Amino acid sequence: MIEFYNVKKKCKVSIDEASVEKHVYERELKNGGIQNRYAFKAVDEDGTKLTKFCSKADFDSVPD
């Protein structure tokens, strides 16, 4: 189970790892380098889209 914060409900919700999608956000820096941000994405039972940014270690620990 992964905990997300639901902005609509103003509380934390737990989502099963099987229904969580992994996503990598890439952006180019001013010096030409690339920065990666790792996140989990899910949808709550009321249809609210949830995103939680995490470390690379947490990202790699969850299976695809």
In the chain, DSSP assigns E strands to 2-6, 11-15, 21-28, 34-43, 49-54
Query: What is the pLDDT at residue 63?
Result: 85
State pLDDT tens for residues 5-40: 999 999 999 999 999 999 999 999 999 999 999 999
Does residue 48 contact residue 6 with C-beta atoms inside 8 Å? yes
Number of domains, the chain: 1
Residue 27 one-letter amino acid: R
Domain holding 17, by residue range, is: 2-61
Give the pLDDT band of residue 1 (cuts 50, 70, 90). Answer: confident
Strand-pairing partners, residue 34, are 28
DSSP state of 60: H
